[in-house]
Amino acid sequence: MNQNIDQALQKIELSKKAISEAELILADLLGKDVVEKVNEVIPVTETTPPRTDLKCYLCGSKVYDNRPNKRSGQYKPKAPDFTCSNNNDCSGMVQGDTRMLRKSWWLDSKDLPQEWIKTVVPPISAEDTVDVTGSDEEIHPFDK
């Protein structure tokens, strides 16, 4: 029986070694972690406002976009990128060390809706725009 256990443990060690080697190969191929790759493909700049139109698909509550706060250093780097605002009865809540924790998503979460990571810039009101298509004959206030 001890031989069977030893053989099983050897197979586990070989599997761990193979997984470690595969991780190194993937790290070399990717060169960067998944979050950095996502941010390259879908750039979010310092001036990009957080998404305010997100809804939790589990309970329908508002979802907070924490990406700008993480970039600014206000939130820790390991903080979730998105968090459900419902901390009472969302079905995605999980038991933490001391209390129930709200449903959260990181950019590499498998259940993160891909449309959430798209940058949406809110429309600008007409009073905040300037018409630059006018003719040269117009007298501008600065030319008076």
Q: Are residues 52 and 12 in the same domain?
A: no
Query: Has residue 51 been placed in a domain?
Result: yes
Query: Has residue 79 been placed in a domain?
Result: yes
Residue-level pLDDT at 6: 75
pLDDT tens for 92-122 read 999 989 999 999 999 888 898 988 877 666 6
Residue-level pLDDT at 57: 94
Neighbours of 83 (CB within 10 A): 20
The string of DSSP letters for 93-144 reads -EE-SSSEE--EE-TT-TT--GGGGS--PPPPPGGG-------TTSPPGGG-
CB proximity list for 52: less than 8 A, separation 6 or greater: 65
Residue-level pLDDT at 73: 87
Alpha carbon distance 55, 17 (integer Å): 42
Tokens of 35: 């979050």
Alpha carbon distance 4, 10 (integer Å): 10
Query: Has residue 141 been placed in a domain?
Result: no
Q: Are residues 109 and 50 in the same domain?
A: yes
**Contact (CB, 8 A) for 106 and 79:** no
Q: Are residues 9 and 48 in the same domain?
A: no
Q: Are residues 48 and 113 in the same domain?
A: yes
Domain count, the chain: 2
Domain membership of residue 19 as a residue range: 1-31
Residues of the chain short of pLDDT 70, as ranges, are 1, 22-48, 119-123, 128-144
Q: Are residues 85 and 54 in the same domain?
A: yes
Residue-level pLDDT at 4: 79
Q: Are residues 26 and 76 in the same domain?
A: no
Q: Are residues 48 and 5 in the same domain?
A: no
Query: Has residue 66 been placed in a domain?
Result: yes
Q: Are residues 68 and 19 in the same domain?
A: no
Residue-level pLDDT at 61: 95
Q: Are residues 51 and 19 in the same domain?
A: no
Question: What pTM was estimated for this model as a whole?
Answer: 0.53
Q: Are residues 56 and 88 in the same domain?
A: yes
CB proximity list for 105: less than 8 A, separation 6 or greater: 80, 81, 82, 83, 111, 112, 116
CB proximity list for 23: less than 8 A, separation 6 or greater: none
Q: Are residues 62 and 87 in the same domain?
A: yes
